[in-house]
Amino acid sequence: MIEIIPAIDLIEGKCVRLAQGDFACKKIYNENPLEVARKFEAAGLKRLHIVDLDGAKGGKIVNLKVLETIAGNTNLIVDFGGGIKTEKDLHSIFDAGAKMASVGSIAVREPEKFFTWLDHYGSEKILLGADVKNDYLAIDGWQTATAIKILPFLENCFARGARQVFCTDISKDGLLQGSANQLYAQILARLPKLKLIASGGVSRIEDIFELEKIGCAGVIVGKAIYEGKISLEELESFTGKE
């Protein structure tokens, strides 16, 4: 069964969402991220995807205290990303309670450093983030476009040991207009053993069923929950919670 991974995006310690990565289109949903995380846990969800948007934009971790608070007060399996640049950063987020580090920009900018981390910590602890616009990767919290195509990039990462990837189609993120099914189908056709987590655009429960059919291992759901398009009750059917 596909795993539901709710998302908390952080700016200045608050739970927000952007549209297509645009910091000018910020909407604050809750000033208490722990409250949000506890609601997810109460619904039977096991995972949580935390993005430090301040960190992604500025190139250094900013919202570590929020991670510490959520990890220390829930049993959610947290992956944390945004601003992770050094091994010291990895230690700090693991010490703060993250079970996985979401790493994107470093894998593009300094691939050998990323592969060293992968070898050292293992693919269970390093979650590769690949943000895509028109088949090309974008980094630095989507602020920087690259000339690197998604499929060859993922094939190389898989060959070097990456086993789980969350892939966001920036053109769809935050718009509630459906996910990038064609892109995910292409990736899984080339890399059927990859644990692919879909991210961006999910707007209704049917989107999740479609992603499950394609073969995605998980799906990150954010704005659809906050905007009431998908209820936590609907998501309980994926958690085994009665």
Annotation marks residue 9 as catalytic: yes
Q: How many CA atoms lie within 13 A of 161 on its CB side?
A: 16
Helices (H), the chain: 33-42, 53-58, 64-73, 87-95, 105-109, 111-121, 150-159, 181-190, 205-214, 223-226, 232-235
Annotation marks residue 173 as catalytic: no
- Rounded distance, CA 14 to CA 24, Å? 15
The catalytic position among 54, 89, 131, 140 is: 131
> Token pair of 91, please?
């230690």
- Rounded distance, CA 188 to CA 169, Å? 15
Read off the amino acid at residue 30. N
Whole-number Cα distances in Å, 23 to 54, 58, 104, 114, 238: 10, 12, 18, 27, 32
Catalytic site positions:
9, 131
